[in-house]
Amino acid sequence: MRRFQDEGGVIWMASVKERIGDDYKGRFSFVMTPDDGAQDREVELEDIRWNSRRTAERTLKTMAESELKRRLRSATGRAA
């Protein structure tokens, strides 16, 4: 998990989410949730997927904070 602050000052938690089912290809994705725990504002980044939790977590761990902010902006813009 990674905590970061968006341009508006909101603290977000980025983590890995597993999609349940028989298809293992692209089973893991990123999910970003406001640190206040508001699950109704959770944003899943469905355009980024991995086949293993280990790879997804390594990518999240090494991703620049500016990239996390950019992806959050992109995902929330699409959802609006």
Q: Of residues 23 and 58, which shows the higher confidence score?
A: 58
How far apart CA 23 and CA 20 sit, in angstroms, is 8
Could you identify the residue written with the tokens 């028989």? Answer: 22
**pLDDT by residue (tens digit) across 38-68?**
667 889 888 889 999 999 999 999 999 999 9
Q: What is the DSSP string of 27-70?
A: -EEEEEEETT--GGG-EEEEEEEES-HHHHHHHHHHS-HHHHHH
Radius of gyration of the CA atoms of the chain, in A:
12
Q: What is the pTM of this model?
A: 0.81
How far apart CA 15 and CA 24 sit, in angstroms, is 19
